[in-house]
Amino acid sequence: MTAAEPTIGVLALQGDVREHARALEQAGARTLNVRRAEELDQVDGLVLPGGESTTMWRLARAFELLEPLRKRIEGGLPAYGSCAGMIMLADRIRDGVAGQETVGGIDMTVRRNAFGRQVDSFESDVPLTGMGDTPYHAVFIRAPWVESVGDAVEVLGRAESGPNAGRIVAVRQGRLMATSFHPELTGDFRVHHYFADLVRRAMRKED
């Protein structure tokens, strides 16, 4: 394992695992599908993909991964959650199913299916801090939004247009980041590059 080529795991319980792995490889990382706690010990960073957070939560429980995930993230493992993965990284959720738990780590409140009440899927340009001057063309699918964030959370992007303009859709807190949208689907891998760089800096203990 070299600093130049981190190994980034993709939580492979459910969701669009393969698309994230491909995007991470484009960003210069090796990838590993993570389904067991031992696999979690082998990665320098972790992506929690989009999918369905209620299913992901149930499977994480069944595979006895919830506690290992919490411990690794508390211990400083860089992690990036997209859509359902954003929900998994939220300290607090709204509109979850009864008893729904998250891994947590980011001091934010995320509302499930928030945009989905108006429209199931849509695309919108989102300017993203630290990821170039061109706004990111973001794809939202039954997406959550971030309702509120604590002081330690940096807002990286907000929806730019439409009735939900101004809603927070991309955040970072230290080594953790999350987006409401699906950057693995568009061929523009700036978000994955940003995360791979974050992982490399964490490996060099610069962040």
The least CB distance from residue 75 to ligand GLN, in Å, is: 25
Active-site annotation holder among 38, 39, 67, 83: 83
Q: Catalytic site residue 182?
A: yes
Which part of the chain contacts ligand GLN (CB under 6 A), choosing from 64-72, 80-88, 145-153, 162-170? 80-88
In Å, what is the CA distance from 183 to each residue of 60, 117, 151, 173? 23, 22, 26, 19
Residue 197 three-state SS: helix
Task: Report which DSSP code applies to 153.
Answer: P
Q: Which residues of 7-18 are buried (b: 16+ CB within 10 A; e: fewer)?
A: bbbbbbbbbbbe
180 labelled binding-site residue: no
Query: Which residue is it, tokens 């590059």?
Result: 193
Q: Is 36 annotated as a binding residue?
A: no
Instruction: Report, in Å, the least distance between residue 188 CB and ligand GLN.
Output: 18
Task: Name the 3-class secondary structure at 181.
Answer: coil
**Residues 151-180 interacting with ligand GLN (rule: CB under 6 A):** none
Number of amino acids touching ligand GLN (CB under 6 A): 11
CA gap 180, 11 in Å, rounded: 17
Question: What would the DSSP string read from start to end of 78-139?
Answer: -EEEETHHHHHHEEEEESPPTT------EEEEEETTTGGGT-SEEEEEE--TTS-SSPEEEE
141 binds ligand GLN (CB under 6 A): yes
Beta carbon nearer to ligand GLN, 6 or 49: 49
Q: Taking CB under 6 A as the criterion, which residues in 53-72 touch ligand GLN?
A: 53
Contact between 84 and ligand GLN (CB under 6 A)? Answer: yes
Q: Is 51 in the site for ligand GLN (CB under 6 A)?
A: yes
CA 196 to CA 79: how far, in whole Å? 10
Rank residues 6 and 15 by Cβ distance to ligand GLN and give the closer one: 15
Instruction: Name the site residues for ligand GLN (rule: CB under 6 A).
Output: 50-53, 83-84, 87, 112-113, 141-142
Binding-site annotation: residue ranges for L-glutamine: 51-53, 112, 141-142
Catalytic positions are 83, 182, 184
